[in-house]
Chain A
Amino acid sequence: MLEFMEGSHAVAEIVKRCRPQVIAAYPITPQTHIVEDLAQMVANCELDAEYITVESEFSALSACLGASAAGSRVYSATTSQGLALMFEVCFNVAGMRQPIVMTIANRSLGAPLSIWNDQQDSISLRDSGWLQYYAEDNQETVDLHMIAYKVCEDHDILLPAFVCFDGFILSHTYEPVALPTQEEVDAYLPAFNPYQRLDAASPLSMGMYATPDYYMEFRYEIDRAMQRSKQAFIKAGREFGRDYSALVEGYRLEDADTALVAMGSICGTAKDAIDEMRDAGKKVGLLNIRMFRPFPAPEIADALKGVSTVAVLDKNISLGSGGAVGTEVKAALSGSNQAVYDYIIALGGRDVRKRDIAAVVDLAEKGKGDLFYGLRTEVL
């Protein structure tokens, strides 16, 4: 049944139904509504969890790491500078193979201070060993939380995950969402069964010390688990009511000459723009990348094999190199004769309209790309 609610509230509701036993988070715009709602649910005894108030994001994720190592299902949420402050702990969580799920309400990073949306925050943690899923709308945001817990806690995976949804654009938008019932979530996501946990009766240590004889093997194992998580996602997606059986979602790609590639809420606007371009006779489609880590390179190459031109929309910039998604899409398509262009777009919350999507397609078809789209040259 569809209910009308704010994106952040929908996240809090699905997290409650996933029954985390420990929550530690520090409020930061635009994530705040999620953790406010969860704190209230715990205070009202609607959610039987330990809500740990902390003095910083570093402490929040450290508390989560300890709680997860002790055998609890754990949840946190953050964004932007808050995620930046968690940088060190993020690597430790993945290195200790703790299946923590954390919502990222995507936001730009300072300086200059900007509270608005882009995807620089989670993208900047791409090498940390966390799975990264991106939602197009609030329904996907809800669904991906359930899938994330299922994939992360799989004993063949044991990795943490970011569920990313665009800050403000999704987090502060009210729209219809179908929330599963508690019984449905319980049936999909059984109680947490830790692979191993800190236990005084049976002591063990985690994350201790690896000499050069062992460190590479630890990293290799994480990378292998990342790769295995693709199959786990497909399996978890198939068990789901809606279709998440693919790592990437094609939209009107079948006979397309030009394909846009994007992640997150911009895909919705792109789909509407594509419908208009199709009505005008242009053969354009979209590839929505739901998963940035692991990067589904073969799946992307396969989905795009019929198109001649590819335009990647990047709401991030690896300064001095290019957009992170564009760089990896180019690598995925290397050896093909397809023209692949990258467009840095919508940084720091700049609004994207259908006509902007159409303009990017025009640029790509004229062979103009690898640029910042929509720069205000008069202020440079």
Chain B
Amino acid sequence: MTAAELIAFAAFEGGVYSQAFPAFGVERRGAPVQAFVRFSDEKIRLRSQVYEPDYIIVQDPTLIGDVDVFKGMTAGGIAIVNTEKPDFDARVPEGVKVYAVDATTIALEELGVPITNTTLMGAFAAATGEIKLESLEHALRSRFSGSMADKNVRAAERAYNLVGGAL
């Protein structure tokens, strides 16, 4: 949920309406959870969950075998998958572009903990172009302070440059 909130906040800072919410009721660290984000140039009224995502972020690659994480995606969609094995086995819908990012390693190196929200945010910003780097940095500096902000910005920028270089 933190990643969804931060992405929506960064998008809002970038000048669009945004909305972020969890799939309610099962928010426990370690349990499979979903959270949803919408962006729009107009006020967002829709309250249903997202069934046909343009973009997905998979934070835990071990889910891929158990859950159809790409469900509802269609051609032109973009998936960002946190994995150290870029050749993971998954049935990706035709036309969906997958970016494999070893966000856990980046997070461990930059933050010292395997919390990948901000790293994947950087990857998302580069892969989709929905969020500008400065909006992302602004969002992180609003959410975190001092050296934590610096570390999270560095983690996000590393993933941003990594994915940006692959584009």
Contact = CB atoms under 8 A, between A and B. Distances in A.
Interface stretch (B16-24, B74-82, B119-127): B16-24
A4 B21 contact: no
B46 A268 contact: yes
A117 B23 CA distance: 12
A4 B37 CA distance: 13
A139 to B, nearest CB: 9
Contacts of A172: 21-22, 24
Nearest to A271: B45
Interface in A137-169: 137, 166, 168-169
B47 A4 contact: no
B9 A4 contact: yes
A271 B42 CA distance: 13
B8 interface: yes
B34 to A, nearest CB: 12
Contacts of A166: 47
Q: Which of B17, B22, B25, B48: most chain A Cβ within 10 A? A: B48
Contacts of A116: 24-25
A217 interface: no
Contacts of B21: 168-169, 172-174
A232 B9 CA distance: 37
A117 B21 CA distance: 14
B47 A269 contact: yes
Interface in B47-93: 47-49, 51
Contacts of A269: 45-48
A353 B45 contact: no
A354 B48 contact: yes
A95 interface: no
Contacts of B18: 4, 174-176
Contacts of A353: 48, 51
B45 A4 contact: no
B45 A268 contact: yes
6 contacts: A2-B12, A4-B12, A4-B18, A6-B5, A268-B46, A353-B48
Given A169-B47, A172-B21, A175-B8, 20 more contacts: A4-B9, A4-B12, A4-B13, A116-B24, A116-B25, A137-B45, A168-B25, A169-B21, A172-B22, A173-B19, A174-B20, A175-B17, A175-B18, A175-B20, A268-B44, A268-B45, A349-B24, A351-B49, A353-B48, A354-B48
